[in-house]
A and B are shown apart, each in its own frame.
Chain A
Amino acid sequence: MKPMPKEETGVPARTRLDVYDSYLLLLTSYFLLLEHEVFVKLAVLESGLMMCRMNPLQDHPPGKLIAVEGLDGSGKSTQIYLLKRWLELQGMRVFFTEWNSSVLVKKATSKAKKRNLLTATTFSLIHATDFADRYEREIVPLLRAGYIVLADRYIFTAFARDVVRGNDPLWVRSIYSFAVKPDLTFFFKAPLETSLSRILDGRPTLKYHEAGLDMGWTIDPYESFRIFQGKIFEQYLGMEKEFEFIPMEATGTIESQQQQVRNIVSERIDLQRYKTLRRQ
């Protein structure tokens, strides 16, 4: 059935019908209503189908996905580790997954990075491949099985890094459109200087891409890292509203921050549903 033109369903159509006798009016409005109903149903069906297409986990996976995002040195890995321990010790079904860790793709990625074979585009695509592998083999099955999946970095890391490297933001977002949105995304918002000094004070050996040396801003890896992280931080700040990040200000101790994380998690997720089934 073709959707009806607007004027036939809205007020103007009824005004036009005023010229007919009441019987005809009744009959017509009955058909209009009937057709209208069918139309509404079709519209609902179509939007439902759209959702299915957009969200590969349309059947509301029983699991929950919690992601942490933020700069290196922002404290996110420490916090998600402590969250994991807390959930595990209560006997929850929990699984931890890390960015850039798919075994299969790792070989290609590390070879490519060592030989500096990557451009902005292939850097983006090879990380998307890595993510897709973990997503299809771990994240989706675990969510379907009712696990709480904890992700140390998620697609937002790609959005930030790839855009800084010069890729089109919409292109990057569309590539990752197969991925489900996390139920909670904590954004560790430590000031740039804090994160930088946590990483740089130890004078570590920075890897080529990690330092953003591929961008050619400067040949000094430390200076390059500062510029790179600064730009990534800007990207994160820009995404805060777009993706409903839960901002974690870097005030206070590790303990108080963890308490905050735990409070939010237990408020927003019915944790009792994720207890491991134990035999008596």
Chain B
Amino acid sequence: MNQKRFFGQGLPRLDLSKLTGKLIVIEGADGSGRSVQIAKLTEWLEAKGHAVAHVGLRRSTLVSEELEQAKQGNILGKTTMSLFYATDFADQLENRIIPALRAGFIVLADRYIYTLMARDIVRGSEVNWVESLYGIALVPDAVFFLHTGARQLVERNFQKNGRLDYWESGMDLGLANNMFDSFIRYQKKIQHEYKWMEEKYGFKVVNGNRSIQSILKDFKSHLLPLIDPTDPDLAGNKL
């Protein structure tokens, strides 16, 4: 069994050897199809008898409401926003991710520190600063990056919500005087950050410009050896 480890200093007073579950991260922009894949994967894992827990961004009991309010107003500075999100993350890490891993769950994380880091860096934070800030985070057992082109993302966002999101368009950055151009430029900047992270943190890139079924098949074939190397589906190639 792989021993869990932290990116940096980690959390005080925590015995990592007791974390027997698996932490699986799925990264990708809004509209890249993360939630659909997570729902399908959950079904598949549960059918195989694995217990699954879900985490995501802005879901902590501690500050999620306040973060939501802050987002409405756009009144926080960039460092404040970074730290607010880091607080939200740390709360979920300590109160959801770690207890679930300790109980042997498979934790599916709908985004993780990489999205937070990319957003911060695009807004001018130092790479070193963000990396040491998230030195408290656990290194996931696998990170998937659903890669989808910016144009495709626009289309899916319109289909899903009928509009583009203010923050996902990076409107606070003043990149363009209209939301469409801003969205495209912002997503390209974010993807530029994902690019170096992909190498440094060993993302498994999954091409998101395909059908739900073929993406899911990719996920399954990557996940199965990690979760259960003895699974008969693996030998029979029945994914």
Contact = CB atoms under 8 A, between A and B. Distances in A.
Interface string B1-28: 0000000110111000000000000000
Contacts, number: 86
Interface stretch (B46-54, B70-78, B99-107, B165-173): B70-78
A108 B61 CA distance: 10
Contacts of A122: 62, 87, 90-91, 94
B136 A171 contact: yes
Interface stretch (A58-66, A129-137, A202-210, A258-266): A129-137
Contacts of A168: 9, 12
B12 A170 contact: no
Interface string A147-185: 000000000000000000111101100110110000000
Interface residues of B, number: 33
A129 B83 contact: yes
A139 to B, nearest CB: 11
B13 A112 contact: no
Given A104-B76, A136-B78, 11 more contacts: A117-B91, A122-B91, A125-B87, A125-B90, A129-B80, A132-B79, A132-B80, A136-B79, A174-B129, A174-B132, A174-B133
Given A108-B63, A171-B135, A175-B133, A121 B79 contact: no
A55 B229 CA distance: 50
B86 interface: yes
Given A128-B83, A136-B80, A105 B66 contact: yes
Given A122-B62, A125-B90, A128-B83, A137 B129 contact: no
A276 B62 CA distance: 43
Say what secondary structure dominates the interface of chain A: helix
Interface of A: 53, 104-105, 107-108, 112, 117-122, 125-126, 128-129, 132-133, 135-137, 165-168, 170-171, 174-175, 177-178
11 contacts: A53-B126, A117-B62, A117-B91, A121-B90, A122-B90, A126-B63, A135-B77, A170-B9, A170-B132, A171-B136, A174-B133
A177 B132 CA distance: 11
B9 A171 contact: yes
Contacts of B79: 132, 135-136, 178
A119 B93 CA distance: 11
Say what secondary structure dominates the interface of chain B: helix
Given A167-B12, A171-B8, A126 B62 contact: yes
B219 interface: no
Interface of B: 8-9, 11-13, 61-63, 65-66, 70, 75-80, 82-84, 86-87, 90-91, 93-94, 126, 128-129, 132-133, 135-136
Contacts of B77: 132-133, 135-137
Given A132-B79, A178-B79, A125 B9 contact: no
Contacts of B90: 119, 121-122, 125
A175 B131 CA distance: 10
Nearest to A126: B87
A263 B129 CA distance: 38
Contacts of A171: 8-9, 132, 135-136
Given A108-B63, A129-B87, A121 B80 contact: no
Closest 4 CB pairs of A and B: A136-B77, A166-B12, A168-B9, A129-B83
A216 B86 CA distance: 25
